[in-house]
Chain A
């Protein structure tokens, strides 16, 4: 039982379909055969009884006139007519006289004239007992078990006087023979029907099971995470039935799960970035206060202090170090400068000029597509900073003689900047921490460029997306702005 319970639907449905077809086929055949057998037997009895009545009636005059030959010809009629359907023929017909001796029979060698048949045939002997017990109307049939034959007994009467008895003997094999023909026919028919239905049933069963099995396989792939590429054949199952609906619901659910996961990922990154932001800002502020003091102190020292060479050298060294710290802290504390002018087409084009030198050194081609037509009410300084950062990053990431595409356009109160380079792909691991400060592994950088960019985008309530493949790495920055009334 456990085995069938655990069996795959792929086999279970076709198997049960096949069993169902076999059981239905067998039971229908069996019931037909049973009713056929009953009808067949009743028919035989009725036919034989009628034949017995007709013969009995005809035999009356032969017995009355003691015409043995006429009696013989009457009982022999069924045998003398060549019939193709011989299977229903009696094996013998006997006429007994009133002393229960053989008057005449169709099998004189077995039942010779004027002999007592009960001497040689125990079955007839029992019949004769029954005839004697039932002298008035010995009209009956006898097919009791144990008898080799079925007997139909008809009285031969004239004016209520019993002249003799007609006994028709049917071998029981004729039932079996005749019925076996019916059984064979029914069996062949059933087999043909089953042979036709079984492949259809199995095919249908497999078809019905297939989407379920696939659905189950697909569900099996979903664990703690959802793979990006799910090979679900269930998409192919386009029907509108419950299975089709189930498939569609499943796909819908997978999509929603994917969305949810992506959202969670984004929220996670955003939260981390915010935490880092707060953390760095806190540190930067804590550093900035003593730093300001120290820079003031070194400035005072330089102006009014002892100007011996060692001191001057040391103070300069201190000053440079402090300024460097100030720069880094300033970079960490991205401050918006709202007082800058609105963004114009020229502001964008200027950034190209600024990075051109760097690009030339690596023979990188920059495809420039600036679609800004009019001024946009957005801080131009910050936009330029974002663009320069992203372009310099792209140049660094590109190989020698590489190619960079930069597109800036406006769409429905959104400024969209897309920078694509054909450098090597950023790994999944790197992508997770790409915008964090000091995360860069590239040589000669502090890894603050993308951090700053991210901070600016955040300040401007925009969005920055990265996708990286084998051939292309794409940064898309989307920034909203208030359209001029």
Chain B
């Protein structure tokens, strides 16, 4: 009830600005498009989200709202319960609930829909070259539903034949990739697993933070965290949002957004893009 009221209020507020646009159907204009975002990107850039929200509203002629939560799971839960229609999540939770989610679009990073998981260590540590060297140390994961920040290092440990639960002396979750960087940079953890795309982007926009860290190892490439839609989203809405995302690189505003996101554009990809994640998932599930 509360949520309904909130949405209703937002509609009234936003409808004032949309009346002038005029050509959207009233039925559609009533519904706010809610897009869940997870820390698969630098989601502390509130101004970026605001800019993006305006961009989408202008193109869709409908109110758009980004929904942020601390963990991946909270966003996954929201979309599975149809509280939100769309979400930008990691490939790993997508695979877990593949039958309830539809691939909407996959960002192209450096021209390709893939990214890597980075194993990072404090800059002072010049010897570590793989996760094996971090046995018995303190390790920072980003999120238990993150591919690059959890699944990949877990798989690597498994591949070493070690006991995943006893490999590190202590491990903890920071619930965001940039916080893994911070934990390692501050020396709270002696190693961490982060999204390579985020580390690279941080290196561009905030080199101070990553200065005290060093990438010890880069994983093979995996499917980039995709935009997904609930299977229950109307086809009309699905294609409208997909269309806007796919054409985002065709205007200057969109290009400026992409530049801030450090992405090239959005693309349509087959679910097989995430096969490599899926195989890791299966290996770990067998244990």
In the complex, B188 has a CB within 8 A of chain A: yes
Q: Which of B169-193 contact A (CB under 8 A)?
A: 169-170, 172-175, 179, 183, 186-188
B70 nearest in chain A by CB position: A70
Chain A hits for B170, CB < 8 A? 68, 113-114
B82 vs chain A, min Cβ distance (A): 29
A109 nearest in chain B by CB position: B187
In the complex, B140 has a CB within 8 A of chain A: yes
Find out whether the CB atom of B188 lies under 8 angstroms from the CB atom of A72.
yes
Given contacts A69-B172, A69-B179, contact A114 B187 (CB under 8 A): no
Find out whether the CB atom of A108 lies under 8 angstroms from the CB atom of B187.
yes
In the complex, A104 has a CB within 8 A of chain B: yes
B184 vs chain A, min Cβ distance (A): 10
B206 vs chain A, min Cβ distance (A): 14
Given contacts A113-B170, A114-B169, A114-B170, contact A69 B186 (CB under 8 A): no
Interface string of A64-79 (1 = CB under 8 A from B): 0011110011001000
Chain A hits for B183, CB < 8 A? 69, 72
Given contacts A72-B183, A72-B188, A108-B187, contact A114 B172 (CB under 8 A): no
Find out whether the CB atom of B140 lies under 8 angstroms from the CB atom of A69.
yes
Given contacts A108-B187, A113-B188, A114-B138, contact A68 B169 (CB under 8 A): no
Chain A hits for B172, CB < 8 A? 66-69
A58 to B138, CA, bound (A): 23
Find out whether the CB atom of B173 lies under 8 angstroms from the CB atom of A69.
yes
Find out whether the CB atom of A108 lies under 8 angstroms from the CB atom of B186.
yes
A76 nearest in chain B by CB position: B186
A104 to B188, CA, bound (A): 7
B-side interface mostly: mixed
Chain A hits for B187, CB < 8 A? 108-109, 112
A240 to B141, CA, bound (A): 92
Chain B hits for A72, CB < 8 A? 183, 186, 188
Find out whether the CB atom of A69 lies under 8 angstroms from the CB atom of B175.
yes
B183 nearest in chain A by CB position: A69
Chain A hits for B169, CB < 8 A? 114
A73 to B138, CA, bound (A): 17
A161 vs chain B, min Cβ distance (A): 22
Chain B hits for A108, CB < 8 A? 186-188
A374 to B138, CA, bound (A): 141
A168 to B187, CA, bound (A): 19
Q: Which of A347-368 contact B (CB under 8 A)?
A: none
Interface string of A33-69 (1 = CB under 8 A from B): 0000000000000000000000000000000001111
A370 to B173, CA, bound (A): 135
Find out whether the CB atom of B174 lies under 8 angstroms from the CB atom of A69.
yes
B176 vs chain A, min Cβ distance (A): 9
Chain A hits for B174, CB < 8 A? 69
A69 to B138, CA, bound (A): 12
B179 nearest in chain A by CB position: A69
The one of A67, A76, A109, A113 in contact with B138, judged by C-beta atoms closer than 8 angstroms, is A113
A69 to B183, CA, bound (A): 8
A68 to B138, CA, bound (A): 11
B63 vs chain A, min Cβ distance (A): 33
Chain B hits for A113, CB < 8 A? 138, 170, 188
Most chain B CB within 10 A, of A68, A109, A114, is at A68
Most chain B CB within 10 A, of A69, A108, A112, is at A69
Chain B hits for A112, CB < 8 A? 138, 187
A68 to B188, CA, bound (A): 9
Chain B hits for A109, CB < 8 A? 187
B271 vs chain A, min Cβ distance (A): 33
A105 nearest in chain B by CB position: B188
A421 to B175, CA, bound (A): 127
Q: Which of B128-151 contact A (CB under 8 A)?
A: 138, 140
Q: Which of B220-236 contact A (CB under 8 A)?
A: none
B186 nearest in chain A by CB position: A108
Chain B hits for A76, CB < 8 A? 186
Chain A hits for B188, CB < 8 A? 68-69, 72, 104, 108, 113
B124 nearest in chain A by CB position: A109
B173 nearest in chain A by CB position: A69
A66 to B173, CA, bound (A): 10
A73 to B172, CA, bound (A): 13
Interface string of A389-433 (1 = CB under 8 A from B): 000000000000000000000000000000000000000000000
Q: Which of B154-210 contact A (CB under 8 A)?
A: 169-170, 172-175, 179, 183, 186-188
A433 vs chain B, min Cβ distance (A): 114
A4 vs chain B, min Cβ distance (A): 66
B185 vs chain A, min Cβ distance (A): 11
Interface residues of B (CB under 8 A from A): 138, 140, 169-170, 172-175, 179, 183, 186-188
Closest 10 pairs between A and B when the two form their complex, measured CB to CB:
A68-B172, A108-B187, A69-B174, A108-B188, A109-B187, A113-B138, A69-B172, A72-B188, A114-B170, A113-B170
Extra contacts besides A68-B172, A113-B138 (14): CB < 8 Å: A67-B172, A68-B170, A68-B188, A69-B172, A69-B173, A69-B175, A69-B179, A69-B183, A72-B183, A73-B179, A108-B187, A109-B187, A112-B138, A114-B138
